[in-house]
Amino acid sequence: MGLSLKGGDDAKFKMQLSGLLQMDWGMVSGNRKLTPPLKESTGTQIRRARLSVLGTVYDRIDYRFETDLANGQSKIRDAYIRINQLPWVGSLSIGHFKEPFSLTDMSGTRYVTFLERPMSVDAFLVSRNMGLMINNTALNKRLTWAIGGFRETDDQGRNFSADSAYNLTMRVTGLPWYEEQGRKLVHLGLSYSHRFRHDDRVRFTMRPEVNLTPMFVNTGDITTNGIDLFNPELALVYGPFSFQTEYTKAFVGQTTGKSLDFSGYYLEAAYVLTGEHREYRMNTGAFNGITPKRNFDGQGGWGAWELALRYSSLNLDDSTVRGGKLYGLNTGVSWYLNPHVRLLANYGVTDGRTGNKTFGVMNTFQMRAQFSF
* Domains of the chain by start residue, with CATH: 2-372 (2.40.160.10)
Other CB atoms within 10 Å distance of the CB of residue 58: 10
30 pLDDT above the threshold of 90:
no
Among positive and negative, which fits the CA dihedral 33, 38, 39, 41?
negative
User: How far does the chain reach from its first CA to its final CA, in angstroms?
Assistant: 8
| Mean per-residue pLDDT of the chain | 92
Please provide residue 113's backbone torsions phi and psi, each rounded to the nearest 5 degrees: -65, -40
% of the chain surpassing 90 pLDDT: 79
Q: Hey, is 120 helix, strand or coil?
A: helix
| Rounded Cα gap, residues 17 and 3, in angstroms | 8
Reply yes or no on whether the pLDDT at 8 is more than 50.
no
Q: What is the mean pLDDT of residues 323-345?
A: 97
pLDDT score of 357 more than 80: no
Give CA–CA dist 16/116, Å, rounded: 27
Specify the pLDDT at position 4: 46
| Contact (CB, 8 A) for 222 and 254 | yes
Tell me: the pLDDT tens digits for 90-104?
Answer: 999 999 999 999 999
The band of 9, judged by pLDDT with boundaries at 50, 70 and 90, is: very low
Q: With pLDDT > 70 as the criterion, what percentage of the chain qualifies?
A: 94
SS3 of residue 36 by DSSP: coil
pLDDT of residue 34: 59
What's residue 125's pLDDT? 84
Q: What angle do CA 334, 340, 342 make, to 5 degrees?
A: 20
Nearest to residue 19, comparing CAs of 340, 275, 276?
340
Q: What is the pLDDT of residues 102-131, one digit of tens each?
A: 999 999 999 999 999 999 999 998 889 999
Calpha distance 107→313 (Å, rounded): 21
Measured distance CA(292)–CA(198) in Å, rounded: 50
Per-residue model confidence as pLDDT tens digits over 313-322: 999 999 999 9
Q: In 3-state terms, what secondary structure has residue 111?
A: helix
Cα distance between residue 179 and residue 157, in whole Å: 41
pLDDT of residue 11: 58
Type of residue numbered 300 = G
Q: Nearest-CA neighbor of 346 among 153, 112, 149, 132? A: 112
∠ Cα 337 122 206 (to 5°): 115
- Specify the pLDDT at position 7: 46
